[in-house]
Amino acid sequence: MVGLLRIRFLSLLQRGQMVIDQLKQIHAQMIINGFNCCREASMVGKLIDCYCVVSAPVGMDYARLIFRYSEEPNVFIYNVMIRCMPPKEATQVFAHGIARGKLVFDSFTYKYVLGACARLSSSMGLWEGKQIHARIIKVGFTSDVAVQTTSVHFYARRNDLLSARQVFDEMPVRASASWNAMITGYCSERRGTKDHAKEALVVFRAMLLTCNVKPTDTTMVGVLSACSHLGVLETATSVNGYLHKVKHDPEGDVFIGTSLVDMYSKCGCLSTALNVFKRMKEKNILTWTAMMAGLAIHGQGKEALELFSAMEANNIRPNAVTFTCLLFACCHAGLLDEGLHLFYSMSSKFGVTPQIQHYGCIVDLLGRSGCLQEAFEFITQMPLQPDPVLWRSLLGACKVDGDVVMGEKVGKLLLQLQQEQGSLDSLSTCEDYIALSNMYALAQRWEDVEMVRETMKVKGIQTKPGCSLVQSVSLLLAEQ
């Protein structure tokens, strides 16, 4: 009976026909036949895995019950639970196994739990991951390439690039995934500084000089992203030349092609971005959005809207990022009616709920069009809590339009909001005070200017010195 049950289970699993009712039948047979975790750990683990995949969240509840009432769950079952459960619960399962004191976890365990820590949304993710990394060092898994690569990925995801680089530099052996983790860590959109982009290219050059590891498509997507952050055309063309050298048809890969469109757009070469876009054999929503963003950056709002119509004709549904790019394009092209129509059709026609960035685009659009009162009412009536960015956008429009009365009202609201939120960003607070001071100076209200400056002195808010940067970046690729 046990053999037949195993054959039926594995047969359904291989054919991909597993549904929740069949799983429950097999589960019932396993209970009736007294399946024991020590004896049939692989079967129990696969059952947990299938429950997590085929019917979440109901299947997850069954998986938890199996794990809870297992007689002696072993490392394999713990690994399946850590891999399949949500990040917070995965770390709790790991802690439960450590508390038992009998299990000796393997490299897969540490790889899965570090991955869970990387995905944790709470600020405790970094602290928990560091404890696990310390345990990895203690038990001696520092020579395992997969575990160390996951450690690099974990630290990069948690914005601790110094620790990520230290782990990377100390690795005795690196796989292509290790290099990719470090390069993509530097190129993450959450950081996006030019210094990090330069470091990504330095790592890439070192990778080229390593004989036993070759760049993959993932590597090149990360490198192209670094070039986008830098915005230096010389570097972009060097990397693209290398890409054509090692890959016969870069535009044939949708992800590399999309990265090329984004890179050339941000490097100021819109015509080349359009050529790459037109030559691409396959385009997804990211490709269309990247091209619209490029048109928006260069002030070609009407062309971006035309591209949006072409995307609809190709049955590609827009997402929230698509609308952000389109509204940004309308702002910089002064397309007030088109922008408002897009905003109000997001939810009704496309089922995309407007987020704070979309409201910010509309405020910017109304402000640039001189509709200051409408922008003020739009902010006060929006269903979301307005953030300081929206008020700053309107304050800037007031200064351009010379509306001191509205500017004073908005400036005071902005400072009040900063005080209520207890903002610790001294740079932003300084800029807000300076903006209000400039509004008073525009109206020649010098006493009010002096009052604002005096308030800054009392609160210890110092103006930040201005600076300019001349940047020249070149990347000499090694001969391959």
Span 271-298, pLDDT tens digits: 999 999 999 989 999 999 999 999 999 9
| pLDDT (average), residues 177-193 | 82
The confidence score (pLDDT) of residue 38 equals 44
Percentage of the chain surpassing pLDDT 90?
A: 43
Split at pLDDT 50, 70, 90, the class of 478 is very low
DSSP-assigned states of every residue in 343-377: HHHHHHHH-----HHHHHHHHHHHHHTT-HHHHHH
Mean pLDDT of the chain: 83
Return the structure tokens found at 477. 């690729």
Beta carbons within 10 angstroms of residue 458's beta carbon: 8
Do residues 415 and 434 lie in contact, with contact meaning Cβ atoms separated by under 8 Å? no
Task: Tell me which residue of 256, 267, 190, 194 sits closest to 226, measured CA to CA.
Answer: 194
**DSSP 3-state of 407:** helix
Pick the more confident residue, 445 or 10.
Answer: 445
Name the most confidently modeled range: 21-35, 48-62, 155-169, 455-469: 155-169
Q: What is the pLDDT of residues 47-78, one digit of tens each?
A: 777 777 775 677 778 888 888 877 777 888 88
Do residues 299 and 332 lie in contact, with contact meaning Cβ atoms separated by under 8 Å? yes
Residue 12 has pLDDT above 60, yes or no: no
Do residues 174 and 203 lie in contact, with contact meaning Cβ atoms separated by under 8 Å? no
Helical axes 217-230 vs 254-266, angle rounded to 10°: 10
Contacts of 340 (CB under 8 A, 6+ apart): 362, 365
CA-to-CA distance for 112 and 94, rounded, in angstroms?
10
